């Protein structure tokens, strides 16, 4: 049944630690099938594994795919650029054009620079904040990648323990904890680096507003990690969605429909710090991803992409809710419509087991999801209906 996948997995584990490059795709993650598939191709919202099995995908390559896989217009722009060159000995005009297009789309930021990964740009934001404030401490909330400044408390991961004293972590929406960190370290904080939304929790504008107030009071950079929220919650990202403007923000997934591009953007006063410091990497001006992003921004301006993500997300959610209610299934949906999460209550071992059972069954029926149910512009109402049919069968099997 899975002969080609299984053979590839055996080869992968021989030549690549983990068998893959990305933590969320590795073999021993218990929330994806125990023998995960290798994906050979994808188009729209569907993907096919090495054994030819077809899936409706709600993982969106962990977030970067907003318009759908192999989007014709984006890929044509990339092919055209490929004929002109992928990287040059000096800057390309595409850097300027993409910068202007993204700043126009975001609306609140004055300047922007490019990188390649989410972890890169989170680190860049903190470096700017530290340089600008001449302070070392940072308040942090959420996941921000594998770099040393953040990957603390990961046992035996090669990060110097010395750094731990500089980083003060709080949970999303924990306003009292936030206030305690500011009370103790406020004048020493360079930045508060936070995700503006944890997808498995209810959004909290009050949390972000309080953070904005405290950052203003202590002269701390408010940094939104918009790696997952940027260009998915809307063209203005979480800043627009919540009406709270950061000083700096990190973007990656969602800005180039899967091409490897990330960016840090912000208010001029903070970004101009770059004139006195060095943040640089050879491939940041790579043109294919910039051409992709330029086209993605044009499509965002022209088409109701985000209205579609919200609309179909809401339909998927209400369909799930109706199925859970009908069958007395102990789950509900939580979060925001373009990437809702199924919450199994009460939390604990039984909930985790049910989660695994449900998602494994869905996977066997060709529905590929994991945590967030990411909607793309390529999902149609028919895809949602097919997903709801599969969900109804799986839930019936489990109660
Ligand atoms: C909120 C957030 N920040 C940062 C990162 C790190 O991005 P990357 O994996 O591109 O380095 C991720 C990745 O999942 C993320 O979700």
Contact 102, 289 (CB under 8 A): no
**Co-location of 284 and 366 in the same domain:** no
Structure tokens at 15: 């030549």
What is the distance in A from the centroid of ligand 1 to the CA of 390? 30
Residue nearest to atom 9 of ligand 1 (CA): 118
What is the distance in A from the centroid of ligand 1 to the CA of 61? 12
φ, ψ (nearest 5 deg) of residue 15 = -105, -15
**Co-location of 25 and 78 in the same domain:** no
**Co-location of 129 and 243 in the same domain:** yes
What is the distance in A from the centroid of ligand 1 to the CA of 143? 7
> Which numbered atom of ligand 1 lies nearest the CA of 22?
9
Helix (H, G, I), strand (E, B) or coil at 142: coil
Question: What pLDDT, in 10s, does the model give residues 354-364?
Answer: 999 999 999 99
**Edge-to-edge strands, sheet with 167-169:** 111-115, 262-266, 248-251, 221-225, 189-194, 137-141, 167-169
State the total domains in the chain. Answer: 2
Ligand 1 pocket test: pick from 61, 143, 238, 246 the residue with the most ligand atoms within 8 Å of its Cβ. Answer: 143
**Co-location of 295 and 319 in the same domain:** no
pLDDT of residue 258: 98
pLDDT of residue 275: 95
Structure tokens at 361: 């069954």
**Co-location of 329 and 221 in the same domain:** no
Listed residues 252, 280, 302: the one ending a domain: 302
φ, ψ (nearest 5 deg) of residue 189 = -80, 130
pLDDT of residue 121: 98
Q: Give all strands (DSSP E) within 219-371, no chain letters.
A: 221-225, 248-251, 262-266, 331-334, 339-344, 367-368
Query: Residue 108 sits in a domain of what CATH number?
Result: 3.40.640.10
**Co-location of 148 and 168 in the same domain:** yes
Query: Residue 328 sits in a domain of what CATH number?
Result: 3.90.1150.10
Percent of the chain at pLDDT > 90 equals: 90
> Which numbered atom of ligand 1 lies nearest the CA of 262?
10
**What is d(CA 308, CA 36) in angstroms, rounded to the nearest whole number?**
30
Q: Which residues of 86-111 are buried (b: 16+ CB within 10 A; e: fewer)?
A: eeeeeebebbeebbebbbebbeebeb
**Co-location of 119 and 231 in the same domain:** yes
Low-confidence ranges of the chain (pLDDT < 50): none
**What is d(CA 5, CA 163) in angstroms, rounded to the nearest whole number?**
41
Ligand 1 pocket test: pick from 172, 253, 283, 289 the residue with the most ligand atoms within 8 Å of its Cβ. Answer: 253
pLDDT of residue 234: 96
Residue 308: count other Cβ atoms within 10 Å of its Cβ: 17
Helix (H, G, I), strand (E, B) or coil at 195: coil
**Co-location of 188 and 288 in the same domain:** yes
Ligand 1 is surrounded, with C-beta below 6 A, by 62, 117-119, 122, 142-145, 195, 225, 227-228, 252
What is the distance in A from the centroid of ligand 1 to the CA of 399? 36
**Co-location of 62 and 112 in the same domain:** no
**β-pair type (262-266, 248-251):** antiparallel
Residue nearest to atom 3 of ligand 1 (CA): 144
Structure tokens at 276: 């006195």
**β-pair type (111-115, 262-266):** antiparallel
> Which numbered atom of ligand 1 lies nearest the CA of 24?
14
What is the distance in A from the centroid of ligand 1 to the CA of 267? 22
Residue pointed to by tokens 């339909």? 315
Global confidence as pTM: 0.97
Residue nearest to atom 4 of ligand 1 (CA): 144
Listed residues 302, 324, 341: the one ending a domain: 302
What is the distance in A from the centroid of ligand 1 to the CA of 243? 23
**Co-location of 141 and 211 in the same domain:** yes
Helix (H, G, I), strand (E, B) or coil at 264: strand
pLDDT of residue 247: 98
**Domain span holding position 63:** 3-69+304-398
Contact 262, 252 (CB under 8 A): yes
Name the residue among 85, 98, 124, 53 with its Cα closest to residue 261: 98
**Co-location of 64 and 79 in the same domain:** no
Listed residues 302, 336, 371: the one ending a domain: 302
**Co-location of 46 and 93 in the same domain:** no
Residue 303 per-residue DSSP state: S
What is the distance in A from the centroid of ligand 1 to the CA of 1? 34
């Amino acid at each position: 049944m899975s002969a080609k996948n299984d053979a590839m997995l055996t080869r992968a584990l021989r030549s690549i630690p983990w068998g893959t490059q990305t933590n969320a795709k590795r073999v021993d993650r218990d929330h994806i099938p125990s023998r995960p598939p290798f994906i050979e191709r994808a188009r729209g919202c569907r993907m096919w594994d090495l054994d030819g099995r077809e899936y409706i995908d709600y993982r969106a390559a962990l977030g970067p795919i907003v318009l759908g896989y192999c989007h014709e217009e984006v890929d044509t722009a990339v092919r055209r650029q490929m004929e002109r060159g992928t990287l040059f000995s000096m800057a390309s005009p595409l850097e300027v054009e993409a910068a202007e297009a993204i700043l126009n789309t975001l609306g609140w930021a004055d300047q922007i620079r490019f990188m390649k990964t989410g972890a890169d740009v989170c680190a860049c934001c903190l470096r700017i904040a530290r340089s600008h404030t001449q302070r070392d401490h940072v308040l942090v909330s959420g996941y921000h990648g594998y770099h040393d400044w953040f990957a603390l408390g990961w046992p035996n991961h090669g990060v110097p323990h010395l750094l731990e004293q500089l980083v003060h972590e709080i949970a999303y929406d924990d306003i009292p904890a936030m206030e305690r960190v500011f009370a103790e370290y406020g004048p020493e904080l360079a930045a508060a680096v936070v995700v503006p939304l944890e997808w498995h929790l209810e959004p909290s504008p009050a949390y972000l507003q309080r953070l904005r107030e405290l950052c203003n009071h202590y002269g701390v950079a408010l940094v939104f990690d918009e790696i997952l929220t940027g260009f998915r919650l809307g063209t203005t990202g979480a800043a627009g969605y919540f009406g709270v403007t950061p000083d700096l923000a990190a973007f990656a997934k969602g800005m180039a429909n899967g091409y490897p591009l990330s960016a840090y953007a912000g208010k001029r006063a903070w970004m101009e710090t770059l004139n006195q410091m060095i943040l640089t990497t050879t491939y940041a001006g790579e043109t294919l991803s910039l051409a992709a992003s330029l086209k993605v921004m044009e499509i965002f301006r022209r088409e109701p992409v985000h209205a579609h993500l919200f609309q179909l997300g809401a339909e998927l959610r209400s369909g799930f809710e109706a199925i859970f209610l009908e069958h007395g299934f102990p789950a509900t949906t939580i979060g925001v419509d373009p990437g809702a999460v199924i919450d199994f209550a009460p939390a604990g071992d039984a909930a985790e087991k049910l989660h695994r059972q449900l998602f494994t069954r869905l996977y066997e029926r060709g529905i590929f999801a994991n945590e967030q149910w990411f909607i793309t512009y390529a999902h149609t109402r028919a895809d949602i209906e097919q997903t709801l049919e599969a969900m109804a069968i799986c839930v019936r099997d489990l109660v």
